[in-house]
A and B are shown apart, each in its own frame.
Chain A
């Protein structure tokens, strides 16, 4: 079982719709959770961090964390073609090394 799992996609949504990206993790002691956006040929860019159960909103982005079920999700409201990218879920496990475990990423396509 992979430590951090994401559906590779592609996930295709029409412009203006809500895109829902999901991630599950295996280490129950995981502490911090991150979403990165990566455009083709570019490096990952941190867009959301979440540490406590519940929702965290930042503009059109909402991160949701459920530690009991070991999943974290990212909702993108009013999706725009510029949101088309690969979204990487990253998890800081129970160790204190500072290492993050990355999922393989979900490719999102927003169609005009």
Chain B
């Protein structure tokens, strides 16, 4: 079974703090994704990565950065947390290429509250 794990289920931080969210997958997937999910707004893609050290902006990258130093690990960084970044953060991973249908598998999510 594909397993995607996230470092924390719940996190409370203060405005202005630097926040690290970590995601690890054990299926040797090339693609990894970070989403946030808010009521009424659905899933929104923040960043994704298709290879080590490679990243592309998603739909809402402002205020976030990412790091992928190893294939299995993808980190989301909030440089200076703000209250409007309070949300559920979801990590996902998938294979890439013509031989794959690109199903994404999600981690359990991190509910981040910024006070």
Contact = CB atoms under 8 A, between A and B. Distances in A.
B42 A105 contact: yes
B104 A100 contact: yes
A32 B98 CA distance: 11
A21 interface: no
Interface residues of A, number: 22
Interface in B40-76: 42-43, 45, 48, 50, 56, 58
Interface in A47-73: 49, 51
Contact of B56 (A34, A46, A97, A102): A97
Interface of A: 31-32, 34, 36, 42-46, 49, 51, 88, 90, 92, 97-100, 102-105
Contacts of A43: 90, 106-109
Interface in B5-53: 30-31, 33, 42-43, 45, 48, 50
Contacts, number: 51
B106 A103 contact: no
Given A42-B108, A45-B106, A97-B50, A104 B42 contact: yes
A94 to B, nearest CB: 12
Interface string B89-101: 0100011100001
Contacts of A34: 103-104
Nearest to B93: A98
Given A44-B106, A49-B101, A49-B103, A102 B94 contact: no
